[in-house]
Structure 1
Amino acid sequence: MTVFFTLLGKILPLYLSIVLGALSTYFLKCDKETVAKILLFILAPLIVFNATLNVKLDFSVIFLPLFFFLFSTVLAFLLLLFFKKIWDDNTSNLLAFSTATGNTGNIGIPLAILFLEPKYVDIFIFTVLASILYQNSVGYYITAKGNFTAMQSIKKVLKLPVLYAFILGLVLNLWGFKLPEIFSSYSSYLKGAYAILGMMLLGMGMEKIKLNSSFVDMKFISYAMFIKFIIWPATVLVFIFLDKHFLFYLNDKGLYMVMFLFSIVPLAGNTVTVATLLNVKPEKMSLTVFISSLISLFYIPFAVFLYMS
């Protein structure tokens, strides 16, 4: 249990940032939209560019974002078919979309910084592209129940600055370009700033959470927690087992840890943004994301403890 409490001690400061975010909104009236824009348009593109530029591209590294994008897509459509039998409204669309992805950015990247070696941190950030593309393409289709055309979805993806940062980093990586050494420490500052502000942003969104009985849907919450905290890691662990003994695609303990961390993060905060934009039960989604974040405070160190045992 000593290892568990050590891991808990590592992750706890991240969650204190959520409290700071909530306090900054309540007492200082900080504007969360401004923080979100800083994350989306400045910090996220910069760290994605840096990670893509520095990562050593090979089959195993490229395989990871492809694997998770396809997994999220297939899982979302399978869940949609299943949930349509339970809910006859757009609740099924929202739940299928939200449980097929996770908070690999605001929570996943800080976890990667805590638990992975620097080279694997860059690989993790590179893999986060799978979540970004899923949430802004397939996710929009499912949540909007087909209200967006293919062209509209493509336009939404093309507006993401992260996409262009990724393309630029990839091109320069293939050309063998390296940033001057003076920028190496600056990239660490960027990751730290993203981690802190990303966690604070979760807290800054708590003022919209309401405990009205109409929003506390235990069936919705239970399905979301089960899929995110049981189905996701179980599926990834099955793949890791198969790869270790039969497939040999990755054959790297560090990459296995990247995959495992990717699978144990809570629900993505971006799902609330999508639900709000499309007016698909945003209050219910906010409460569910908040609960999953609270559970992950103890779930993540416990899951890492079991994985490392």
Structure 2
Amino acid sequence: MTLFFIILIKIFPLYINVMLGFLSSKFLHVQRESIAALLIYILGPIVVFSAAITVKIDFAVAILPIFLYVFCSILAFASLFIWRKSWDNPTGNILAFSAGTGNTGYFGIPLAIILFPPSLADIYIFVVMASLLYESSTGFYVTAKGNFSVKQSLKKISRLPILYAFILGITCNLAGLKIPEEISAYTAQFKGAYGILGMMMLGMGLLGLKSNPDNFDKKFISITFIIKFVFWPLAMLGFIYVDKTYLHFLNEDLYKVLFLFSIVPLAGNTVTLAVLLNAKPEKASLAVFLSTVVSIIFIPLAIYLYGGF
């Protein structure tokens, strides 16, 4: 179990950042919206651009975000079909959204930076685009039961500055352009800032969480936890087994990226969409909070059982 505790010690500072975020919001009155604006419009695009221009793109790396986007979308539609009538409010739609994604950005990117060498962390950041595109297209669609048009969904995607940073980074990468070494040390600092502020923002979101028995929807929490902490890792391990045995598309490093992608907690945007749909966002907030707490033990245990990174 020594490996388990080594991994636990490595990732535990992330949870300290969550607590710092909570304290800064409670006592210093730091606004979550301001931090979100920094992450979305400044730090996020720089981090994504830096990863996209640096990552070595080959067939295996290029296919990963495509595969994950398709997988996320299929899982979301399947969940919507199974559970859409289980509640008398849009909770089933929120569940479908959460089934297809996880906190791959604010939580996953700091994890990748801690656990992976820089080159592999860049590949993970590259793959996170699958989640961003899913949340703004398929995820957006399933939460609204199809009431929003494809045009509205595309308009939402077009407003993502990270998307343009990704496209610019890939374009520069394919053109053979690189970030000068004198500047790369500077841009690398944004990854750390993104990870710290992203985790702090999770803590800021806990400030309005109130203890209310009505918020504890046992069915909703049980289903989301089974999908996120059981189905996702097993599905990725199944794909890894098939690829190792038959397909031979990927390599050991990319298997680690896939597995890390599958073990992060519930996505924070689940709460945002619950607010928009008036589907008892306190219930979604509690589920996201509990999944983050569970991940303190689950993530190092999962990595330990996988064999370590």
Shorter-chain TM-score: what band? over 0.9
What residue number does 2:295 align with? 296
Residue 230 of structure 2 is aligned to residue 230 of structure 1: yes
Task: Please list, as runs of the form range in 1=range in 2, the aligned pairs for 1:5-84 lying within 5 A after superposition.
Answer: 5-84=5-84
Residue 125 of structure 2 is aligned to residue 144 of structure 1: no
Distance 1:304 1:268 in 2: 20
Q: 1:85 offset after TM fit, Å? A: 4.8
What residue number does 1:306 align with? 305
Distance 1:8 1:57 in 2: 32
What residue number does 1:99 align with? 99
Distance 1:76 1:281 in 2: 20
What residue number does 2:265 align with? 266
Distance 1:85 1:42 in 2: 40
Distance 2:84 2:157 in 1: 27
Distance 1:88 1:236 in 2: 33
Distance 1:280 1:138 in 2: 19
Q: 1:281 offset after TM fit, Å? A: 2.2
Distance 2:71 2:126 in 1: 16
What residue number does 1:186 align with? 186
Distance 2:146 2:209 in 1: 28
Native 8 Å contact 2:90 2:277 kept in 1:
no
Task: Please list, as runs of the form range in 1=range in 2, the aligned pairs for 1:84-123 lying within 5 A after superposition.
Answer: 84-123=84-123
Q: 1:146 offset after TM fit, Å? A: 1.9
SS where residue 37 of structure 1 aligns? helix
Q: 1:89 offset after TM fit, Å? A: 3.1
What residue number does 1:253 align with? 252
What residue number does 1:159 align with? 159
Percent identity for Structure 1 against Structure 2: 54
Residue 19 of structure 1 aligns to which amino acid in structure 2? Answer: M
What residue number does 1:215 align with? 215
Native 8 Å contact 2:102 2:265 kept in 1:
yes
Residue 54 of structure 1 aligns to which amino acid in structure 2? Answer: T
TM-superposition CA deviations, 1:28-49 (whole Å, max 9, x none): 0101100000001111111100
Native 8 Å contact 2:101 2:135 kept in 1:
yes
Q: 1:87 offset after TM fit, Å? A: 2.7
Distance 1:218 1:183 in 2: 50
Number of residue pairs aligned between Structure 1 and Structure 2: 308
Distance 1:281 1:70 in 2: 29
TM-superposition CA deviations, 1:124-173 (whole Å, max 9, x none): 00000000010111111111122211111110000000010011111111
Residue 285 of structure 1 aligns to which amino acid in structure 2? Answer: A
SS where residue 288 of structure 1 aligns? helix
Give ranges in structure 2 of 5+ residues lacking alignment.
Answer: none
* TM, length-normalised to structure 2: 0.98
Distance 2:187 2:10 in 1: 21
* TM, length-normalised to structure 1: 0.98
Runs ≥4 residues deviating over 6 A: none
RMSD: 1.0
Distance 2:140 2:84 in 1: 17
Native 8 Å contact 1:116 1:254 kept in 2:
no
Residue 35 of structure 1 aligns to which amino acid in structure 2? Answer: I
Distance 1:237 1:177 in 2: 36
Distance 1:183 1:193 in 2: 16
What residue number does 1:133 align with? 133
SS where residue 206 of structure 1 aligns? coil
Q: 1:211 offset after TM fit, Å? A: 2.0
Q: 1:280 offset after TM fit, Å? A: 2.5
Q: 1:207 offset after TM fit, Å? A: 1.5
Residue 259 of structure 1 aligns to which amino acid in structure 2? Answer: L
What residue number does 1:275 align with? 274
* Segment drifting more, 47-56 vs 143-152: 143-152
Residue 240 of structure 2 is aligned to residue 240 of structure 1: yes
Q: 1:88 offset after TM fit, Å? A: 4.2
Native 8 Å contact 1:208 1:286 kept in 2:
no
